[in-house]
Amino acid sequence: MKTPDLILASTSIYRQALLEKLALPFRCMAPLIDETPRPEESAEQLVQRLALEKAKAVAANNPASWIIGSDQVCTINGLVVGKPGTEPAAIAQLQAASGQRITFYTGLCLYDATQDRYQLLAEPFHVHFRALSSEQIKRYVKAEMPLDCAGSFKSEGLGITLFSQLEGRDPNSLIGLPVIALVDMLAAWGMELPQ
């Protein structure tokens, strides 16, 4: 099949790098949506809703495209944790994660604007943290400054030293885009990879 006009509804450099693995031409566009969680919304519901809303927001001005929307949250002891934004917040998140098994949920939507159809899922991924000292946490935050990362670490970098085990279907989902699931979605609509 001819490759459709593919758009990643994200400006995340991490998601862009992951999508580049598929060797498909794509563009990036910023989805302008309100990402405020709704009362009583689970982590899975939140990331699926936001992935779909991001894709639809970009589709509004791109009616002949396939749009990939994605969103991610981290949960520690069942509580949704976002991007820290500041060093003290990153330190606090990592202190809460120390010695714990935390779960990331990454929402993925493939939206076909030409037919107003979509596929949607929430991909879980679990991270088992080592018991970390305050000094280890502070050194890590200073070294990588993971202020724009849910959970306050970069698993593709020095963050790997914080873990005792990773558990899940696709380690790419931990970075922000479940590439294995995306390949499945593209195949379901007739695009077999590699091309």
What CATH number has the domain bearing residue 78? Answer: 3.90.950.10
Q: Is the pLDDT of residue 72 over 80?
A: yes
195 is a domain residue: no
Strands (E) in 56-116, as ranges, are 65-76, 79-81, 101-112
Specify the number of domains making up the chain.
1
- Is the residue at 33 inside a domain? yes
Both tokens of residue 124? 């879980």
Residue 3 has a pLDDT of 83
Share of the chain above pLDDT 70, in %: 100
Identify the pLDDT of residue 77: 87
Is the backbone of residue 15 left (phi > 0), alpha (psi -120 to 50) or beta? Answer: alpha
Is the residue at 14 inside a domain?
A: yes
* pLDDT at residue 43, as a whole number: 95
Q: Which of 5, 34, 71, 170 is catalytic?
A: 71
Residue 162 lies in a domain: yes
Q: How far apart, in whole angstroms, are the C-alpha atoms of residue 162 and residue 158?
A: 8
β pairing state of 27-28 and 5-8 = parallel
Range of the domain at 150: 5-188
Beta bridge partners of 6: 66
* Mean per-residue pLDDT, 132-157: 94
Could you tell me which residues are beta bridge partners of residue 5? 65
The verdict on residue 68 lying in a domain is yes
Residues in Cβ contact with 50 at an 8 Å cutoff, skipping those fewer than 6 apart: 33, 35, 69, 71, 107
pLDDT band at 142 (very low <50, low <70, confident <90, very high): very high
Q: Is residue 194 part of a domain?
A: no
- Mean pLDDT rounded to a whole number for the chain: 95
> What confidence category does residue 1 fall into, taking pLDDT thresholds of 50, 70 and 90?
confident
Determine, yes or no, domain membership for 193: no
Residues 176-194 have pLDDT tens digits of 999 999 999 999 999 999 9
The tens digit of pLDDT for each residue in 74-133 reads 999 888 988 899 999 999 999 999 999 999 999 999 999 999 999 999 999 999 999 999
Query: Above pLDDT 90, what percent of the chain?
Result: 90
- Residue 187 burial (10 A CB sphere; 0-12, 13-18, 19+): exposed
71 is catalytic: yes
